[in-house]
Amino acid sequence: MPPRRNPVLITGCSTGIGRASADLLVKAGYTVYATARRPETLAELAVAGAQTLALDVTDERSMVAAVREVERAHGSVGTLINNAGYGEYGPIEETDLDAVRKMFETNVFGLARMTQLVLPGMRAVGSGLIVNIGSMGGRITFPIGGYYHATKYAVEGITDALRNEVRSFGIDVALIEPGAIRTQFEETVNTAAGVANPDSPYADLVAKVRSVNADAYSSKVLSAGPENVAKTVLKVLESDPPRARYLVTAAARTMVNARRLGGDLVWDAIIARQFSR
């Protein structure tokens, strides 16, 4: 295990990918700081050997306090895993923009601010790793998810720029792009997509999206458990240097390649067929 990857600070560990990643990294021998807005949700990770901290990526004081605590104990953060995020779904025309702004605060600005906070310490020691948990939804787009996709496209851009800005300081940057992962995320998506006015002109499309999502997340072919992403996180930490991008799930690779190779006409035809009412 490369010592320079320690300690590992992970955001959004109460459930899903963050929890699975923290658990696997602890088992692999890493010093892990697992964080969540509600630290009481981290009790099992604490028993497993993780250090636990309260951290809300939409609160400046919370972010500063968490990074300072890790730096006080270790000098610098060895690895930052920006995992916290969620999906606010709905038609572009009808979705509440205040809810969209709130999602951007978590998915984009929280990730950006956490990155800003750890970089001075990483530069001072001449090493570090930043792993951003993006999504295949940062490279392909489905209807009713436009604003969520916008946050993940933003993460793609930030990650690409950052990778080339900090390379000369000995800092690596990698992006993990999961496909459909069976966590509480799909429940949030289906709940958000299901609040459309039944008289909305988009009501039929929203219903179709809910149906397609339910089928995808219940399929062991089209989706995977969070442990699959956790294994990729471990692979990134143990790679020197890591790759720029890691797509997770065969379905995600298939769809991203279809979008890339087929262009707009092919992708739009796939979407029209999949979501036809």
CATH number of the domain enclosing 99: 3.40.50.720
Which residues form the domain of 94?
3-274
CA 252-255-261 angle, to 5 degrees, is 135
Beta bridge partners of 131: 81, 174
Enzyme catalytic residues: 148
pLDDT at 26: 97
d(CA 274, CA 277): 9
pLDDT at 195: 56
pLDDT at 215: 84
Q: Domain tally for the chain? A: 1
d(CA 189, CA 144): 10
Residue 149 · residue 138 · CB < 8 Å:
yes
Per DSSP, helices labelled H in 168-223 are 185-193, 203-218
How would you write the pLDDT of the chain (277 residues) with one tens digit per residue? 445 699 999 999 999 999 999 999 999 999 999 999 999 999 999 999 999 999 999 999 999 999 999 999 999 999 999 999 999 999 999 999 999 999 999 999 999 999 999 999 999 999 999 999 999 999 999 999 999 999 999 999 999 999 999 999 999 999 999 998 987 666 655 555 555 578 899 999 998 998 888 888 888 878 889 999 999 999 999 999 999 999 999 999 999 999 999 999 999 999 999 887 6
Q: Would you state the structure tokens that stand for residue 99, as one six-digit string? A: 């809810």
pLDDT at 2: 45
CA neighbor of 80 nearest in space, from 160, 164, 139, 13: 13
